[in-house]
Structure 1
Amino acid sequence: MKYHHHSYVSHDPRILPPAGEGLTRSAALPDQVDVLIVGAGPAGMIAAAQLSQFPGVSTRIIDRRPHRLEIGLADGMQKRSLETFNAFGFAQSLMAEACHVTETAFWRPDPVAPDNIRRVSRLDEDPNQISEYPHLTVNHARVLDYFAEFMANAPTRMAPDYGLEFLGMEIMSDGDYPVAVRVAPTAGPQAGQERTIQAKYVIGADGAHSGVRKALGWRLQGESSNHAWGVLDVLAETDFPDIRVKCAIQSKNDGNILLIPREGGFLFRLYVDLGNVTAGDDGAVRRTPVEDTIARAQKILHPYRLDIRHVAWYSVYEVGHRVSERFDDVPQEQCDHRMPRVFITGDAAHTHSAKAGQGTNASMQDGFNLGWKLGHVLEGRSPDTLLSTYSTERQQIGNDLIQQDKRWAAQMAKSPEEFSSQEEFEDAYLQITAFAQGFMTQYAPSMINATPDDGSLAAGFPVGKRFWSAEVMRVADANRRHLGHEATADGRWRFYVFADAALPGQDSATTTLGRWLDESPDSPVRGFTPADLDENAWFDIKVIYQQNHTQIDIGQVPQAFIPRVGPYRLSDYENIYAALPDDDIFERRKISRQGAVVIVRPDQYVAHVLPLSAIDQLTRFLKTFALPQH
């Protein structure tokens, strides 16, 4: 965290000074806004939190609920989400209150006494150590609270407007605020009194029954698996030995359970298999009494005792796998000549089973993907063609998610006899887990994603995949840091310059690149950052040297890696890093000893990998998504 560069700070440095919209924010919803977000769930709140970092953008988020969510329906926070939470500054706080899931135990019928279950194996949740963060379970309402705190501390001082219901909208063909949204209070003296808000852009984050999606005329396409599950969060007394471990439990005749330990040390969730849904059921299974679901759970867990003392939450759902035909308002045939104005995210765009833990996690990546893009377009950083990449990128991920979820739901619904071996079930679990953790996403080539290279420059940073952190040494103060953790959700692009073998001050490709970055009118610093802003305001440029930090003379480091910031033009020395002798990032991430430039998007995905000398190629790529600011 960096502060004091404007003046001495004695209060909580996470509370940034108000700026832009934060200086004039009104308690009442204004008649015109740049971005109106409908729905204060995970997708809407992360988009709002990202937009809260753009002081010049007027953003409001509305929700029909009268107040904050109190009981979240999702509980699993996957590792990719924790990486994202770190960028918003609350990963460590959430980890302190959450349950850490490190293993999965597998239980099957005992061959000697088939009516009983026995543990047959355990698996590490992340055997390949693909992330330094854990898998957590926690009430997702707490995640929304943290996003709300981030927004409240942001320059725009944003906060949700609760108790406002979306009624409908109309998209005009022209005008500065072409989307007319009808809303009304849900309670109070003005309840039901309709009014219209004019917006430049609208985000529909209003759930599976999204009014925004329906107003666009899009349908969720897909199917139901005709299988039902009862889900309950409980406090119970039991002698089941793995009650604080994630478990996949298969019984001989009574179905299956997925057991998820919850935060706090006592609460746990049960996904209880209620079997196939018969034709003509007409929703009857969704009215299954909680007592029936508990009785089935007790049979599955036999011979262990399960004495339910309190049910905190209960629901029954039929597994469905559906994705919207579009994630924005532009029909496919008009994509070449019309830019989107309305977007849908989260459950409004895709629905699936809850057991893979993707409802909240995938939804947040939708909102993160979209938030910075809207901010860049509205602040004049990027052309509006950038917005067309949202639907292209996230709809493909939605389709992939549905296919993976179908496989997971089918595996979980199988009886033990349908597997050729226990290893078959475990292998299927590991394959699905890699996707569920959020690390199989790879965006296709576009204006913000280069065509992947052969991997010879930086095989550990594939283009289109998330930037995989590793430890380095910060040269200025000899602090070991996770390089990926240094990136915050501030809307900036990142340029990671992995130096060649030369030391600072020596003639090298790194020195030449540094000089170009600092002096050229085509560089991100001189050509694409307004002159009245800090040099690193829009592009965060870091250098990582191969040598031990004691060999790096900061006085010889190119000025491009020591940006001058704040009204006093103070040098920021904290962008210079060195490889660790005991854990070399160049080896760990397979980075060429000739050096490389790794360009990373504001949402932490690798956009391009280039040789240090490829300045012309870097310039061409920069001009595809950034507008000159001369």
Structure 2
Amino acid sequence: MKLELPSSSSTAEDQHTSYTDLLIVGAGPAGLTVAAWASRYGLKARIIDDKETQVHEGRADGLHPRTIEILDSFGIATPILKYGASIREICSWNPSDDDDSRIERTQRIRDMEMDLSRFAQGAIKQGYIEGAFLDLLKDEGVLQVERNVVTESISHDDLQERKHGEYAITLNVAYRNKSGSSDTDVRRERIHAKYLVGADGAHSWVRKHCGFELNKNRTQKHFGVIDIVPRTNFPDVRVSCVIHSARHGSIMTLPREGRLIRCYVQLAETGGEEDTFDDKEVSFEDIISKAQKIFSPYKLESGECEWWSVYTVDHQIAKTNSLHNRIFITGDAVHAHTPTMGAGMNVSIQDSYNLGWKLAMVIKGLAKPELLDTYRDERHKVAETLLDLDQEMSQFFVQGPCDNSKNYDEFRKKFTPFLSGTGVIYGPSMIRAEDDNDEQVNGDSGSPAKSGRSKFRSTKSLARNILTGQRLNSHIVVNQADASPRHIHDFMKSTGPWRIFIFAGDLTIAGQRKRLEAIAGHFSDPKSIVCRHLKPNEPEEAAVEILTIHSAPRVEIELLDLPEVLHPFHEKLGYDYWKVFASEASAKEREGDSEDAYSRFGIDSQHGCVVICRPDQHVSLVCDMEDVDMIDEFFEQVLVSS
């Protein structure tokens, strides 16, 4: 079965020596996410890959909610969700108590990830993800993937002493023709770059040749992976399943686009000197035969096999993901693990989503280079958590039937926040204020980050349900100008700026209106760094934007009576009618949710507060509307004065 993939194309200009601000090695999902940020910021950037074409079949397939939110922020989630399968239920199967040669359903679980985002978990082949990113790059026209480019050597002397504006990295590459033969290289190029990102997978060339050390677990787990159109009488073929048999091992199944399903079939585990496993000896017939034994008494046949492979995975993690804030690795180049959690592509995209905007702001001269420290501190901690949880989940998968397999809902609960991606909370740093919950941040018991503890502290009581460091959850509000209901994430797209959310409270109260006028007056003053970065006549160049959500009845507020900085005037385009919103319960009820944004976030509907979010939607600071000097001071330590 063939499904139409989004189109993509690539070219490489004929040069001998070239210069670029940002060079990305690897055009899988991780590299393409960095490239998408580079495109949005209009960077002088290049992305190269040694393969002839994008992935079309197989590879990664699971999409967790936070990843879909990221894709949506780039405007590419809709076509992916159209083709993909939605996962809303998980079933656990174990040996029957009456006859352990047969499996039976022991639990049917509602997928708890649905409670953490407006998007449910989904599944679709990696090729669709890559194709959607490639279409984005093609449409925006800033950069495209250059293929059949082989990395040969790299030099990066004295990175620590070189200024951030210098071309401190030199990469020598060769362009080969489509035959891929080493003796048919048609030309070579020397690329000088200011920054380099290695997104080139678990066997990363960049990691190896730039001296990133690797911590590696000797134990290897081997899985047979098949994408098939099943002919089966198994009742749960269109939901995700975890199946443990008594004698033949375990299987995870995942519904896929069209009529496809994916099966992860346990093959073996090696680690001792006497252990031997040769994946080249394994055939598709071997994998399907083992799957059939595990599925007993149900029948399983392959009507069509789209793709199959054998995964041999060690648990490994690079000791760092950054070299002097000039060379970075991301995704599988940093962490390798089993497919049992379906987290690989998701965490890779999330790594790059964290890194891309930071690189772009530094390269464009909008932010200070110290901002790049936070990529190392934030995402390496996530990688460590990923490896710890994967060790536990993979052991559960291979150990056979047990109490956890029979009580899978309880076992899975500890994984759900991290797996969804929505539960990731970044620790204090120059871009994240301290918070009362810091002792629980990703298991980090308050130990100082390398980038330093924050000099600021969020006021938790102002927004009781918002965690500083976590991505701001979306909720429906109502546009003040046209009465249309909108999700908050709809105006938090990946276009570059920081967002200052002014939860203005009830503006029918005179005192509250004066508070809003005061904070608006401050941000209208060029002495404020916020004002200098708003740029109403060059919104695509703005590093900060202000969004206002009030709690008054919408019909009692006139947009143009509010301070102009809240609905800025463009010399050619007029007022911006998409910056002020009302939090009306009646609109939420029409959308099936009776809770308004103030209640959802735990904000006093009369008093309000300010919530500052980074370009990647994570919360940096929660403060009062009078704390304008602290807001300026916060941005002064991050942004370059304009």
TM-score by length of 2: 0.88
Structure 1 residue 364 and structure 2 residue 370: aligned?
Answer: no
Partner of 1:586: 598
CA contact (8 A) 2:114 2:120 kept: no
Counterpart position of 2:214: 220
Is the Cα contact below 8 Å between 1:75 and 1:139 reproduced in 2?
Answer: yes
Comparing 57-66 and 554-563, the one that deviates more: 554-563
Matched residue type, 2:357:
W
Shift of 1:530: 5.9
Structure 1 residues 52 and 504, CA, compared in 2 at 3 Å: closer, same or farther?
farther
1:397/1:441 contact within 8 Å kept: yes
- Distance in 2, Cα, partners of 1:454 & 1:414: 46
Residues 1:504 and 1:521: Cα distance change in structure 2 (over 3 Å): farther
Cα separation, 1, equivalents of 2:135 and 2:563: 38
Superposed, 1:2-41 pairs within 5 Å as 27-28=13-14, 31-41=18-28
Confirm whether residue 559 of structure 1 aligns to residue 559 of structure 2.
no
- Larger deviation, residues 185-194 vs 129-138: 185-194
Deviation at 1:342, TM superposition (A): 0.6
What SS class does the counterpart of residue 399 from structure 1 fall into? helix
Q: Deviations over 1:307-346 (max 9, x none)?
A: 123322222223422110111113xxxxxxxxx2110011
Aligned to 1:440: 423
RMSD: 2.1
Q: Does the 8 Å contact 1:255/1:275 carry over to 2?
A: no
Pick closer, same or farther for the CA change 1:190–1:492 going to 2, 3 Å.
Answer: farther
Tell me, yes or no, if structure 1 residue 345 matches structure 2 residue 321: no
Amino acid aligned to 1:492: P
What is the letter of the counterpart of residue 136 of structure 1? Answer: G
Counterpart amino acid of 2:427? Answer: A
Give 1:419's aligned amino acid.
Answer: D
Corresponding residue for 1:169?
154
Contact 2:497-2:544 within 8 A present in 1 as well: yes
Is 1:573 aligned to 2:567, yes or no?
Answer: no
| Equivalent residue, structure 1, for 2:477 | 472
CA apart distance, 1:128: 6.5
CA deviation vs aligned residue, 1:517-538 (integer Å, no higher than 9, x gap): 122421412x335687349822
* 1:569 Cα offset (Å): 5.0
Residue 295 of structure 1: how far off its partner (Å): 1.2
Question: Which residue is 1:267 aligned to?
Answer: 260
Kindly report which structure 2 residues correspond to 1:460-499, keeping only aligned pairs within 5 A, or say none.
460-499=465-504
Q: Deviations over 1:533-558 (max 9, x none)?
A: 34982212110001221122112212
Structure 2 residue matching 1:462: 3-state secondary structure: coil
- Say which is worse superposed, 224-233 or 589-598, in terms of deviation: 224-233
In 1, Cα distance between equivalents of 2:410 and 2:382: 22
Contact 2:65 2:113 in 1 (8 A): no
Q: Which runs of 5+ in 1 are unaligned?
A: 1-24, 331-339
Q: Which residue of 2 aligns with 1:616?
A: 629
2:405 is the counterpart of 1:427:
no
Aligned to 2:204: 210
- Please say if 1:458 is aligned against 2:463: yes
- The code of the aligned residue for 2:204 comes to S
Q: Which residue number corresponds to residue 126 of structure 1?
A: 112
Are the counterparts in 1 of residues 253 and 264 from structure 2 also a CA contact under 8 Å?
A: yes
* Equivalent residues in 2 for 1:293-372, closer than 5 Å: 293-330=287-324, 340-372=325-357
Which secondary structure state, in structure 2, belongs to the residue aligned with residue 142 of structure 1? helix
1:503 aligns with 2:508: yes
Which of residues 371, 376, 379 in structure 2 aligns to 1:394? 379
- Cα-to-partner distance string for 1:584-628 (whole Å, 9 max, x where unaligned): 110012123321111111111111111111111111111111111
CA–CA separation in structure 2 for the residues paired with 1:495 and 1:529? 11
**What whole-Å deviation, never above 9, does each CA across 1:143-178 have from its counterpart, x for those lacking one?**
111111112222x53210011011221113347211
Distance 1:199 1:359 in 2: 28
Residue 429 (structure 1) shift? 1.6
Pair 1:236–1:127, CA change in 2 (3 A): closer
Query: 1:399 and 1:212 mapped to 2: Cα distance?
Result: 20
C-alpha separation in 1, matches of 2:61 and 2:354: 22
Answering whether residue 530 of structure 2 is matched by residue 524 of structure 1, we say: yes
Aligned with residue 182 of structure 1, among 157, 166, 172: 172
| Counterpart pick for 1:248 among 242, 245, 252 | 242
Q: Provide the rounded CA distance (Å) in 1 between the counterparts of 2:621 and 2:41.
A: 25
Structure 2: 5+ residue stretches without partners: 1-10, 436-457, 586-593
- Shift in Å, 1:195: 2.4
**1:77-113 C-alpha deviation (Å, 9 max, x unpaired):** 1100111011100212211111011100111111122
- Report if the CA contact (8 A) 2:469-2:620 is conserved: yes
Deviation at 1:50, TM superposition (A): 0.7
Contact persistence 2:216–2:315 (CA under 8 A): yes
Residue identity opposite 2:79 in structure 1: S
CA distance in 1 between partners of 2:229 and 2:155 (Å): 48
Shift of residue 276, structure 1, vs aligned partner: 3.1
In 1, Cα distance between the equivalents of 2:342 and 2:302?
24
Q: Is the 8 A contact 1:230 1:315 kept in 2?
A: yes
* 8 A contact 1:227–1:319 mirrored in 2: yes
Whole-angstrom CA distance in 2 between matches of 1:536 and 1:192:
40
**Could you tell me whether the CA contact under 8 Å between 1:36 and 1:59 is conserved in 2?**
yes
* Distance of 2:523 and 2:227 partners within structure 1: 55
SS in 2 for 1:592: coil
Confirm or deny: 8 A CA contact 2:546 2:579 kept in the other structure.
yes
Shift of the 363–252 alpha-carbon distance from structure 1 to 2, 3 Å rule, reads same
The TM-score, its normalising length taken from structure 1, stands at 0.89
Q: Which residue of 2 aligns with 1:12?
A: none
Map Cα deviations across residues 485-518 of structure 1 (whole Å, 9 max, x no partner): 2211111111111013333876432221111112
For the 8 Å contact 1:38–1:62, the answer to whether it is kept is: yes
Alpha-carbon deviations, 1:41-66, whole Å to 9, x = none?
111001001110122x2100000011
Q: Secondary structure at the match of 2:461?
A: coil
Q: Take 2:49 and 2:404, find their aligned partners in 1: how far apart are those partners?
A: 49
Which amino acid letter does the alignment assign opposite residue 302 of structure 2?
I
Structure 1 SS opposite 2:41: coil
Alignment-mate amino acid for residue 212 of structure 1: V
8 Å contact kept, 1:500–1:509: no
The residue type paired with residue 244 of structure 1 is R
- Runs of 4+ displaced beyond 6 Å: none
Match of 1:598 in 2: 611
Deviates more, 1:451-460 or 1:203-212: 451-460
Alignment partner of 2:530: what SS? coil
Partner SS, residue 508 of structure 1: helix
Q: Which residue is equivalent to 1:13?
A: none
CA spacing shift, 1:486–1:575, aligned 2, 3 Å: same
Number of paired residues?
589
- Provide the rounded CA distance (Å) in 1 between the counterparts of 2:431 and 2:96: 54
Aligned counterparts of 1:158 and 1:504: Cα–Cα separation in 2? 50
Q: Measure, in 2, the Cα distance between the counterparts of 1:263 and 1:26.
A: 33
User: CA separation in 2, counterparts of 1:132 and 1:26?
Assistant: 40
Aligned-residue identity in percent: 30
Assess, with a 3 A threshold, how the Cα gap between structure 1 residues 420 and 363 changes in structure 2: closer, same or farther. Answer: closer
Say whether the 8 Å CA contact 1:534–1:564 is kept in structure 2. no
Amino acid at match of 2:33: I
Q: 1:224 to 1:473 in 2, by over 3 A?
A: farther
Which letter maps to 1:589?
F
Query: How far is the alpha carbon of 1:284 from its aligned partner?
Result: 2.1
Asked if 1 retains the 8 angstrom alpha-carbon contact of 2:321 and 2:329, the reply is yes
Q: How does 1:97-108 map to 2 (within 5 A)?
A: 97-108=83-94
